[in-house]
Structure 1
């Protein structure tokens, strides 16, 4: 897995866009006390459930791989 050049910024964008998607869909109401890792995992699992991203094998799911997968998703949302 090759790290993206601007992966941190893309993860922040994925948190914002994915959080807004989850709230608009009525699946979650994030609070200030929720950790970023919990939010990222919830967003990942929601996007997989809605078939917006490909699922990873459960043995490969970790915070690092979730961050990378969501960064790729956020990158795909950005027009070139």
Structure 2
């Protein structure tokens, strides 16, 4: 798995957009006590359920792979000239 440039910032952006999408889809917002891994997994599963991203094979499901999939998702949605993609 190749690490993308600005992966931390891209993950932060993906989480913000993913949380906003979840709220618009009718889910309650996340609790401040929810762990980052739980939030990442919940957003990943929501996007897979809504067919916005392709699911990982069951043997590859891990917090690290969920994060990477979210980063790839948001990198594909941002305009090519976005500062995080340079």
TM-score when normalising by structure 1: 0.94
Structure 1 unaligned regions, length at least 5:
none
Q: Which has the larger radius of gyration?
A: 2
Task: After superposing the two structures, state which structure 1 stretch, 25-34 or 63-72, moved more.
Answer: 25-34
Over the residues paired in the alignment, what is the CA RMSD in angstroms? Answer: 0.9
- Separation in structure 1 between the aligned mates of residue 17 and residue 53 of structure 2, nearest angstrom: 14
- Separation in structure 1 between the aligned mates of residue 36 and residue 15 of structure 2, nearest angstrom: 8
1:14 counterpart = 2:14: yes
Deviations 1:26-62 (Å, cap 9, x if unpaired)?
A: 1232121111110000000000000000001111010
What is the 5 A alignment of 1:1-80? 1-80=1-80
TM-score when normalising by structure 2: 0.88
